Amino acid sequence: MPGKILLTGGAGYIGSHTYAALSDAGYEVAILDNFANARPDVPDRLEVITGKPVTVHRCDVLDAAGLARVFASDRFDAVVHFAAKKAVGESQQKPLDYIETNCTGLVNLLKAMRAAGVFRLVFSSSATVYAPTLDWPIPEDAPLGYASTYAYTKLMGEQIIQQVAAADDRWRFGILRYFNPAGAHPSALIGEDPSDIPNNLMPYIAKVATGELPSLNVFGNDYPTPDGTGVRDYIHVVDLARGHVLSLDALMRGDGSHIVNLGTGQGYSVMEMLAAYARACGRALPHTVAPRRAGDLACYFGDPRKAERLLGFKAERDLDDMCATSWAWVSRRSNMRQG
Ligand code: WQD
């Protein structure tokens, strides 16, 4: 059944891991990326991982003519769409940039797909489309809302796709709502590679472990959680990538459209993550308790049962594997930079 897939944002963190998983599943994959948030040598590293040449289209989703050229260059069976801006904090400072890239970019992509007769789409969405809630685990039919421009663009993206599909039954889509991606590829050749100081917990801890940052600020230890620190549903990026393969498989075999959580259904606290990372890197990690971060919720994890029922998806990797693969990746990258 595999086919030919266009992977937008395929040089990014989750995109590159999904490339490896799709290739491993027998799909022929081409990457479309503007490399605004990806190292230029990621395709070379993917070539080492997969043992196959990597096709790359350097293109921005705001370049409608460029998109038309890409779809004219080959016959794609489906698109997996990652290309978007994703920093929650930055989205509050640059709302128009986020709405343009994440929403206008999506419209451009949908128009290029329609013109080329490509009607299967897997869309990278986010658990941030859920309205703040105290009712965990969060099911897909929980109330939706947004607390940032980033979340707004993801919710709008979901709505745009559903409106388009409601008007034309040739469309089939998989909307995948991620909780907290973490970890790296077992090869240690690809992983999360933030160019500036990370906002997210694991990449920040990773930089403390390598000594690039002095200490972790624990944003609050007075939450109503077992150890007082924030609890989140961390999912290994390799499990997350597998979820995209299963979503695409479903669309390729003619199943209907679906909207599912990709999470583990289990929450881990900041202190549990810190302890797991200390086990992975073999040393205690300096940290201090700081005030709560504005907008943070105490606890947030998803109900994974619908993805298991519809797609056969179940996360297999635990927090220790997320930390071990992250540590192997950042150690190798740190050595490469020193070398
Ligand atoms: C996790 C926990 C923090 C950093 C974000 C975005 C969204 C989504 C997932 C894509 C919280 C605590 C963090 C630090 C800390 N991704 N923390 N010190 O906020 O749950 O979700 O990533 O859609 O982009 O919503 O993730 O990793 O920032 O925070 O104590 O230096 O770690 O308070 O409890 P978050 P996070």
Rounded CA-CA distance 64/106 in Å is 11
Of these residues, 13, 130, 146, 150, which one is catalytic? 150
Do residues 235 and 301 make contact, with C-beta atoms less than 8 angstroms apart?
no
Ligand 1 close to Cβ of residue 35 (< 6 A): no
CA of 65 to the centre of ligand 1 (A): 36
In this prediction, residue 336 carries a pLDDT of 72
Do residues 243 and 251 make contact, with C-beta atoms less than 8 angstroms apart?
no
User: Which CATH number fits the domain 4-180+235-263+302-316, given the four candidates 3.40.50.720, 3.30.420.110, 3.90.1860.10, 3.40.1190.20?
Assistant: 3.40.50.720
| CA dist list (Å): 208 to 83, 177, 212, 258, 271 | 28, 29, 6, 39, 14
Question: Which residue has the least CA distance to atom 21 on ligand 1?
Answer: 180
pLDDT tens track, the chain, 339 positions = 889 999 999 999 999 999 999 999 999 999 999 999 999 999 999 999 999 999 999 999 999 999 999 999 999 999 999 999 999 989 999 999 999 999 999 999 999 999 999 999 999 999 999 998 888 899 999 999 999 999 999 999 999 999 999 999 999 999 999 999 999 999 999 999 988 899 999 999 999 999 999 999 999 999 999 999 999 999 999 999 999 999 999 999 999 999 999 999 999 999 999 999 999 999 999 999 999 998 899 999 999 999 999 999 999 999 999 999 999 999 998 877 666
| Residue 35, CB-side half-sphere exposure with 13 Å CA sphere | 8
Question: Which residue has the least CA distance to atom 36 on ligand 1?
Answer: 200
Rounded CA-CA distance 201/204 in Å is 5
Conformation bin of residue 324: beta by default, left when phi > 0, alpha when psi is -120 to 50: alpha
Is residue 150 annotated as part of the catalytic site, yes or no?
yes
- Residue 125 CA: which ligand 1 atom is closest? 23
CA of 111 to the centre of ligand 1 (A): 34
Question: Which residue has the least CA distance to atom 11 on ligand 1?
Answer: 230
